[in-house]
A and B are shown apart, each in its own frame.
Chain A
């Protein structure tokens, strides 16, 4: 089992010191340096907290979270239910407002980034409009932002091919399987070539086989588009398989307890070989230990 948590040259934080490990910039900038022009990070959250409920019965969903996602970086948020991973993503999407702290998306406030359509989003439910065809569903954001008709048609054709649904452009969502619907949702999230993709357990409702296929496709798509991805999941292998960096969160209150750089380069093909690679296993174990905040017994480590 390897414990080189930060393969690159960054100063290695003490593995025991979980509070310190989520200091954003040390781990991450080393893995994915900002480009020469100093392009701002895709996401930069500093001391972000979120509480829900009235003054009398307050629930702290997120407490003092610091997170930076570099442009083009694939970050998976993992943790038990109620750890605030979805909330964190929703804050980035400006679907909720943080109670305190600052949150920047490409150097702008989250609301501004939303207005500028800097991100594309996909939820656990595909959320397709049932009365629209596949093509019309993908075209929805383009239509809303008044893209010219010819451009719209061309972009939709590209996207339908990208997600491998060329024959289904005219089908309605109820004629598609769950996996196909989710592919349409991903195509829709890519419609405006966002530099950031936000995904909230997009494969959570799919069966295991479909899920693995979709993971491989998402890996390919994210490589092709070069967009940064914030990927919420509670599957450990999924997080390790896809991400450059796995951010581990814990509940009550929701906070980041650990970060693990997977060390699987962008250029590594995400396929069955990777799933059987010992280095992949060791990272899975590492994430699992971080999730359970302690070493897992040897037998448990090799279950997967």
Chain B
């Protein structure tokens, strides 16, 4: 509780004032965040062009090591050239779609796969956290394995997942390649959710659990009414990490499984064409950035929906 609420004698004011103040504070940062974000973008573009204009053509070489990159148009195309390239057709074939559209399609494909992986990973992570919160034994038995699971290099087992998946066939239904990608994405996403949710579920105030005990409330009622809502402030950062993991997992898995429709594969293909078309190679990189921003934005939205459960959290 705030000190102002304590000292205010008139009762009507105490309730009204904090919400007013909060509203005024909330409105301003939105504008500020947008302006700062745009300024940041401009700063990056400015630094890029500034370095390109000022640094030597061949970069900076110390001994045999190049410590700063070349500034040729091949290595560092102009910002405006990269933007212009987005509007041009993807290839010289007749009727080819503009580059931005091809990239956007690939981003959309990857986004769907990453979202599927995130949902699956979050569900698995939450279930594991619930299980570990319920049974001490499960925590002792599972948590080390969960931590260990993240030390397995993704590149190593992605092809294995692919080959297992290709052997799955139920009736006429075949395991599609995108599900292998989503599976790997979920593998990265479940970990922070499991650990964060467990932490959150264990952070319930003792006074609340004792109160529920005094009401003779069961484990499940306590979980739904107190422990899950109280875990939300811990859960949101975990979900954010999970979303980042799902995006990274999707991009990496697309590359190592050779799944052609997503942004990951496009990054590799277009990079291969960079010697002839340097600006084109940057388009899927922008696409990947957008993919990450969309994922982050989704979690921010989720945080907004769950804001009732985040009271008392520092703004």
User: B309 interface residue, CB < 8 Å from A?
Assistant: yes
Pick the contact of B5: A94, A119, A177 (CB < 8 A): A177
A56 and B213 alpha carbons, distance in the complex (Å): 29
Task: Give chain A residues whose Cβ lies under 8 Å from the Cβ of B215.
Answer: 117, 140-141, 144-145
Q: Among B12-20, B28-36, B245-253, which stretch is in contact with chain A?
A: B12-20
Please report the C-alpha to C-alpha distance between residue A256 and residue B276 in the assembled complex, in whole angstroms: 92
> Is B64 in contact with chain A by the CB < 8 A criterion?
no
Number of B residues near A (Cβ < 8 Å) is 30
B312 contacts the other chain (CB 8 A): yes
Contact B210 A95 (CB under 8 A): yes
Q: B304 in the interface, Cβ–Cβ < 8 Å?
A: no
Q: In the complex, how many angstroms separate the beta carbon of A45 from the nearest chain B beta carbon?
A: 18
* Min CB gap B310→A, angstroms: 8
Complex: how many Å from CA A74 to CA B216? Answer: 25
- Picked from B5, B207, B214, B311, the residue with its CB within 8 Å of the CB of A130 is B311
Q: How far is the CA of A95 from the CA of B308 in the complex (A)?
A: 30
B211 at the A interface (CB under 8 A): yes
User: A115: CB under 8 A from chain B?
Assistant: yes
> Are B14 and A93 in touch, CB under 8 angstroms?
no
Tell me how far the C-beta of B18 lies from the nearest C-beta in chain A, rounded to whole angstroms: 5
Query: Which chain A residue has the least Cβ–Cβ distance from B217?
Result: A144
* CB-based contact B1/A130 at 8 Å: no
Judged by a CB distance under 8 angstroms, whether A125 is at the interface is yes
Q: Answer yes or no: B229 CB below 8 A from chain A CBs.
A: yes
Closest CB of chain A to B216's CB: distance in Å?
5
Assess the B213–A178 pair: CB atoms within 8 A: no
Our pick among B2, B6, B14, B221 for the contact of A144 (Cβ within 8 Å) is B221
A270 to B214, CA, bound (A): 30
CB distance from A113 to the nearest CB of B (A): 10
Contact A131 B229 (CB under 8 A): yes
Do B15 and A127 have beta carbons less than 8 Å apart? no
Q: Fill in one digit per residue for A110-143: 1 if any B CB lies within 8 Å of its CB, else 0.
A: 0000110101010101010111000000001101
Q: Please, what's the 1-or-0 string for B264-277, where 1 marks a CB less than 8 Å from any CB in chain A?
A: 00000000000000
A68 nearest CB across to chain B (Å): 22
Q: What are 28 A-to-B residue pairs whose CB atoms are below 8 Å?
A: A93-B214, A95-B214, A114-B216, A119-B214, A123-B207, A127-B207, A129-B208, A129-B225, A129-B229, A130-B311, A131-B229, A140-B225, A141-B215, A144-B212, A144-B215, A144-B217, A144-B221, A167-B15, A171-B15, A172-B311, A173-B1, A174-B2, A175-B5, A176-B1, A176-B15, A177-B1, A178-B1, A180-B14
Residues in chain B within 8 A of chain A (CB atoms):
1-2, 5-6, 8, 11-12, 14-15, 18-19, 205, 207-208, 210-217, 221, 225-226, 229, 308-309, 311-312
- Having A123-B210, A123-B211, one finds 13 other A-B pairs with CB under 8 Å, namely A93-B214, A94-B214, A114-B214, A114-B216, A125-B205, A127-B208, A130-B311, A140-B215, A141-B215, A144-B217, A173-B1, A174-B311, A177-B6
